[in-house]
Structure 1
Amino acid sequence: MKNKSYIGLSFIILLFGIWAVPKIIDKLSGGNLEKMGKAPAFELTDQNEKKITNEDYKGKVYVLEFFFSTCPSICPIMNKNMKKIEEKYFGNPQFGIASITINPENDTPQVLLDHAKSLGITSKNWHFLTGDKAYIYSIANKGFNLYAGQNNKAAGGFEHSGLFALIDKEGNIRCRKDEYGNPIMYYDGLKDEGVKAIIEDIDILLKE
């Protein structure tokens, strides 16, 4: 009877291992990324005065942010962290970045070109985008649900999220889950942990 009990227990442990190990690996690797719906469509102008739409990113994994060139607070940190991501995938035609200004009245294509040069950006797949202010705010606040607004009391006169959005090759917003199993939706563009997580998940999406 004891031998049968041991065999039964061993079988249960084996079954648990078969079920649990892939899930543990998934959690550690950032796998099993959630689809949070389609990213909103957009049509804007980049630093080279070229019209860029979401269709230009079709077939690419891309990261999107909202910023402005004269931001004195969180943008320099976001720029630095986004550049780390850009350097990791430099020259990869399946990867891109979209940085959309929330101060288009100042951030003309020429201003954005100068800003890109000041950051040392040479990638053809990183577009700094500008356009109509109300249109951009609608993309941010209604399309992505990433806050952007004008506030004369805020540093630089504008407020916005420090989060990065991750979009897959089919135009879906993707993300990992937190420790409780809830989708994080977006990645913290101000912390090393957020940058590490998004790079891990870009790697996953590039293989899809």
Structure 2
Amino acid sequence: MRLIKLPILFILMIIVSACSGSGGFKADHKYEVPAFEFTNQNGESVSLDDLKGTVWLAQFVFTNCATVCPPMMMNMAQIEEDLHKAGVEDYKIVSFSVDPKVDTPEKLKNYLEMFNVKDENRWEMLTGFTQEEIGELAMKSFKTVVADIPDSDQVLHGTTFALVNQEGQVVKLYSGNVDVPFEQIEKDVKALIKAGA
């Protein structure tokens, strides 16, 4: 009788340990990002295919923003600093402009330089689309709003940071303005890179 119980107990232990995930990455969502091809701060074309195979963090900002964008940019720069200190290399940061009529590649480049980022080559500051197109992308794939504010040079937009996997799916969303979960984001980026390795 004891000989039968031991193998069953051993099998149950294996099942339980497999279900615990042993520190692996677990997605909260799987929102598909549609194919795109936009222009970055260096005037270069950047497509979803260019980002495939790489983990990336996304945000929606604009250079004339008078409220939430500067803290969001500072917070994303802090995430980059944290990942650099942790020795994490294989990821990108993608910032979609929500004011593409104003935000030329040159303006986006100058804006990025204001935040003393660790590695400008890691950042893709994207423009080259209509506000309607970016609004649709933001809502469908990132579950965040982009909308004109009448009689104003400001644009209403969400303040979330999104983690996108190697297949181009949004898998996690975080606060990007206040109460940013810096440690959790670092942990998730590391785990997602490892999961796709």
Query: What interval of TM-score do these two structures reach, taking the shorter chain for normalisation?
Result: 0.7 to 0.9
Match in the other structure for 2:46:
52
Verify the 8 A CA contact 1:30 1:201 in the aligned structure 2.
Answer: no
Distance in 2 (CA, whole Å) between partners of 1:92 and 1:74 is: 27
> Are the aligned partners of 2:66 and 2:154 in contact in 1 as well (CA < 8 Å)?
no
2 CA distance for matches of 1:159 and 1:30? 36
The aligned counterpart of 1:151 is 149
Offset from partner CA, 1:75-108 (integer Å, 9 cap, x none): 1111111001222334855200100111111110
Show the counterpart of 2:183. 196
Contiguous gaps of at least 5 residues in structure 1:
1-11, 176-185
C-alpha displacement of 1:21 = 11
Partner of 1:103: 99
Report the counterpart of residue 109 of structure 2 in structure 1: 113
Stretches of 4+ aligned residues off by more than 3 angstroms: 18-23, 89-93
User: Any unmatched runs of 5+ in structure 2?
Assistant: 1-8
Structure 2 CA distance, aligned partners of 1:116 and 1:94?
20
CA gap 1:49/1:195 in 2 versus in 1, 3 angstroms: same
Do residues 131 (structure 1) and 118 (structure 2) align?
A: no
Structure 1: how far apart are the matches of 2:75 and 2:43? 25
Tell whether the 8 Å contact from 1:163 to 1:188 is kept in structure 2 after alignment. yes
User: Is the Cα contact below 8 Å between 1:59 and 1:94 reproduced in 2?
Assistant: no
**1:8-55: CA deviations, max 9, x gaps?**
xxxx9xx79x848974x86xx684234413222221100000010111
- Is the alpha carbon distance of 1:101 and 1:51 closer, same or farther for their aligned partners in structure 2, counting shifts above 3 Å? same
What are the equivalent positions in structure 2 for 1:1-208 lying under 5 Å apart? 19=16, 23=20, 31-90=25-84, 93-121=89-117, 122-133=119-130, 134-152=132-150, 157-175=154-172, 186-208=173-195
Alignment-mate amino acid for residue 113 of structure 1: K
Quick one: distance in 2 between partners of 1:161 and 1:153?
A: 20
C-alpha contact 2:25 2:192 (8 A) present in aligned 1: no
Structure-1 residue corresponding to 2:5: none
Percentage of pairs with the same residue: 30
- RMSD of Structure 2 on Structure 1 (CA): 2.9
Q: CA separation in 2, counterparts of 1:57 and 1:89?
A: 18
Q: What CA distance in whole angstroms lies between the structure 1 residues aligned with 2:102 and 2:46?
A: 19
The alignment covers a number of residue pairs equal to 184
1:38 partner letter: E
Deviation of 1:65 after TM superposition, in Å, equals 0.8
Which has the greater radius of gyration? 1
